A and B are shown apart, each in its own frame.
Chain A
Amino acid sequence: MREPEDQDTRPTNVTETLVASGAVMPGALRAPGTAHTAAPGTARAGWSADRAVTELYSLHYKALVRLATLLVRDTPTAEEVVQDAFVAMHDGWQRLRDAENALAYLRQAVVNRSRSVLRHRTVVDRNMQQAPPDMPSAEHGAFILLERSAVVAALRGLPGRQREAIVLRYYGGLSEAEIAAVMDISRGAVKSHTARAMAALRVALEQELW
């Protein structure tokens, strides 16, 4: 696995070029069981929208759902988010016309829709404060699995942008430039978010374990 710190450098060999161009997804956004090179026809522009959905689903659906799960902390909601992103990608396929662009579009759509979910959830939680405390919500069971991890629990206490930067970098394996494109911020902001998030994670884990 590549070091995220090295991803800012210019790729020097063929594999690195493919990874940097997005034809091969590094890290978790590369579908398990697939080759490190691009799937046949992945970078072709002649696909129909339905075939693009099928191909990209087989390659990246599971990783995208896991990415969204780390962001929204809920697997069913993460699946909904990713499916809606695929539907949006299907609608805009005439504009994308490329698997590389489509994957970048999917990542950005997942992150944006995860933000929307979290925002909506915040509003709902604010308005449901009068609910009985002994009634667990339907999403509570899904949270338990993730909250067992101290890192994920500490990740939950981070601000949204910092959480996104950490997940995209250390789970998605994206470079700073790719994270900047997904989050629609500058590379300097990505560095800042990542550094602050790591410092906060370290402090949170130290307080929890000691």
Chain B
Amino acid sequence: MVIPGHGSGGGKGREFAEFVRRELHRVADQVGPGADGLERIREKIRSRPAHESPLAAAWLAVSGFLAGRVRRRPSGGGQHTVPAPGVTPAPREAQRTPKRPQGWRGAILRPAVAVGVAAFAVGLVLVAVPPVRQEIVQLTKHGASAVTGSGGASAQGQGSHVRSSDGGVSQPSSVTSPTPVARSSPTTSQAATRTASEAASPNATHGGSSSPSPSVTPSPGVTPSPTNGRHRHRRRRPRPGASVSPTSSHGTKIGRPGVG
């Protein structure tokens, strides 16, 4: 056999294509199909039950539709659909159906959990970042002081009268205690503070009585917040090279080394 177009010049591909065409026809013409092809086709058509009558075809169409609807429903308990006998089961990827919520609980619970997780993540990030955390703390304190301050103003004049052991009645702490003044200006000397304290509450300072000192007793009218009283001791701790700034009374910069 000689391959046409082999080694020749122009029209090489055309000659080879003609050669392939001739070979294919030569081989295919040797194939003689059986003479009973039409009969077999008709027999196959007749043997199909779906086409015996239009009623049967309609019934098969309806039943197929219903079977498809039933098959699409989610099976409870993770049960797998059993393929019909003689039918090769589809691969696992093809058998997967899109997951649907198992009712209104699933429909509500999943978004709620998602929102909760998202809020927790945002809060975690906000707390973890130091500047954001400081801002939050400051805002919280400002808000708390504003609330407490309004409460103190309303409570002015209603300060508790502490009864001393010698029968005297001490002054209401809201009037007598100058501690907020001293606290608000930390640069004030201790002597001035002490003088003011002595002038304000002589019983508490010099009497040595068991009555609680107004500066110690947390009073809403005097102390803006209990936290300030707690930080007061920490602020007075001597720190080398650290000048007390007014913001240190809020306790935000106390714990940070090298401030100022």
Which A positions have Cβ atoms within 8 angstroms of B?
1, 3-5, 28, 50, 53-54, 57, 61-62, 65-67, 69-70, 75, 78-79, 82-84, 86-87, 90-91, 145-146, 148-152, 166-167, 170-171, 198, 201-202, 205-206, 209
Contact of A151 with B16 at beta-carbon distance under 8 Å, contacts A57-B38, A65-B31, A145-B30 already known: no
CA distance A146 to B30 in the complex (A): 9
Closest Cβ of chain A to B94, distance in Å, is 16
Asked if residues A149 and B41 are in contact (CB atoms below 8 Å), the reply is no
A53:B41 contact, CB within 8 angstroms? yes
In the complex, what residues of A have CB within 8 A of residue B21's CB?
A: 1, 170-171
A residues in contact with B40, CB < 8 Å: 83
- Central interface residue in B16, B34, B41, by most chain A CB within 10 Å: B41
Query: Contact between B41 and A62 (Cβ–Cβ < 8 Å)?
Result: no
Name the contact of B41 in the complex, choosing from A4, A57, A66, A166 (C-beta under 8 A).
A57
Cross-chain contact A166 with B20 (CB below 8 angstroms): yes
Known: A62-B33, A66-B31, A69-B31. A149 touches B23 (CB 8 A): yes
Report how far A93 CA is from B30 CA in the complex, Å. 32
How far does the Cβ of A77 sit from chain B's closest Cβ, in whole Å? 12
Q: A101 CA to B117 CA in the complex, in Å?
A: 59
Contact B1–A209 (Cβ < 8 Å):
yes
Stretch of B44-52, B153-161, B165-173, B176-184 that contacts chain A:
B44-52
10 A-B residue pairings within 8 Å (CB atoms): A4-B17, A5-B17, A53-B41, A75-B31, A79-B33, A83-B41, A90-B41, A90-B45, A149-B27, A171-B21
Please report whether the interface of chain B is mostly helix, strand, loop or mixed according to DSSP: helix
B232, chain A: closest CB distance, angstroms: 84
The total number of A-B Cβ pairs within 8 Å is: 98
Q: Specify which chain B residues have a CB less than 8 angstroms from the CB of A205 in the assembled complex.
A: 3
Which of chain A's residues have a CB closer than 8 A to the CB of B16? 198, 202
Secondary structure at the A interface, as helix, strand, loop or mixed, is helix
Knowing A28-B25, A57-B37, A61-B33 touch, does A198 contact B45 (C-beta < 8 A)?
A: no
Asked whether A149 and B26 contact (CB < 8 A) given A83-B44, A84-B44, the answer is: yes
B1-36 interface code vs A (CB 8 A; 1 in, 0 out)? 111001000000110110111011111111101100
Give Cα A83 to B19, complex, Å: 31
Cβ-defined partner of A66 (8 Å) among B20, B28, B45, B51: B28
Residues of chain B lying within 8 A (CB to CB) of residue A91: 48, 51
Interchain nearest-CB distance for B126 vs A (Å) = 55
| Of B20, B25, B41, B48, the contact of A198 (CB 8 Å cutoff) | B20
Contacts of A61 in B (CB 8 A): 33, 37-38
Classify chain B's interface size. 20 to 34
- The CA of A167 and the CA of B28, in the complex, are separated in Å by 10
Chain B residues with CB under 8 Å of chain A are: 1-3, 6, 13-14, 16-17, 19-21, 23-31, 33-34, 37-38, 40-42, 44-45, 48, 51
In this complex, the member of B6, B17, B24 whose beta carbon has the largest number of chain A beta carbons within 10 angstroms is: B24
CA A1 – CA B16 in complex, angstroms? 16
**Most A CB within 10 A of own CB, among B13, B31, B37:** B31
A205 to B16, CA, bound (A): 11
Of B1, B21, B40, most A-chain CB atoms within 10 Å? B21
Known: A91-B51, A202-B3. A66 touches B29 (CB 8 A): yes
A82, A148, A151, most chain B CB atoms within 10 A: A151
Chain B residues positioned under 8 Å from A65 (CB to CB): 31, 33, 37
Residues of chain B contacted by A28 (CB below 8 angstroms)? 25, 28
Question: In whole angstroms, what is the CA distance A63 to B21 when docked?
Answer: 15
Cβ-defined contact, A79 with B24, below 8 A: no
Residue of A nearest to B29 (CB): A66
- CB pair A87–B33 under 8 Å, yes or no, is no
Which of A79, A152, A198, A202 is close to B34, meaning CB atoms less than 8 Å apart?
A: A79
B48 touches A171 (CB 8 A): no
Residue from B6, B23, B30, B45 in contact with A87 in the complex, judged by beta carbons closer than 8 Å: B45
